[in-house]
Amino acid sequence: MTDFLFPKLHKEGYRFLAIAAVITFILLLISNFFGIISFILTIWVYYFFRDPERFPINDENYLVSPADGVISQITETNGPIELGLEGKKYTRVSIFMNAFNCHVNRIPSSGKINKIFYKKGKYINASLDKASDENERNYVKMTNSKGDDLILVQIAGLIARRIVCEIKENDETVQGDRFGIIRFGSRVDLYFENYQLMVQQHQKTIGGETIIAKKK
């Protein structure tokens, strides 16, 4: 219950929370009305950067969701050209995170990080399909314990201005591990093959817990 009401704060949030708290204090000295509004916004900042514990299935036959949010699109597509995978076909599940979702990103399956590639881009609405090719984004390619390649793409959104990736190449990761955060509205794409899809479009997801696909 305590973790639900007062979840742990991600380290990226401390600076923003401190700034919001100082502004709230100053405004309360000037105006109760604006001070209360600022206090409400401070609470929102805290919950935006929340980093609650999650409990993955811990079964490598399944892929868990890399993010909280809503599945905005499911499609069969070529792999990212940035990783040299444009000749391979993947299932891509896109998860859109609004301003009220937890924005901490998680590893869908235990394995090894092979490549990380960051690309500058635009900041159009992350729910649009073209955001996969035009927005600022960070690619994470990994091989899981089953020998399957998985690709995670952190995509900045309309007001997102920083993608944080907390892993590096050759890291060994565990299903449900935190691997980054995207500030202020964004999307995460998960590419995979050889797995049977177990979700549908518009379904809500919980990062690290919702099962996205099952090994064929």
User: What positions carry a catalytic annotation?
Assistant: 186
Q: Which two tokens stand for residue 180?
A: 């980054």
CB proximity list for 56: less than 8 A, separation 6 or greater? 64, 106, 175, 176, 208, 209
Length of the chain: 216
- From CA 53, how far away is CA 60, in angstroms rounded? 20
- From CA 109, how far away is CA 19, in angstroms rounded? 36
- From CA 122, how far away is CA 155, in angstroms rounded? 10
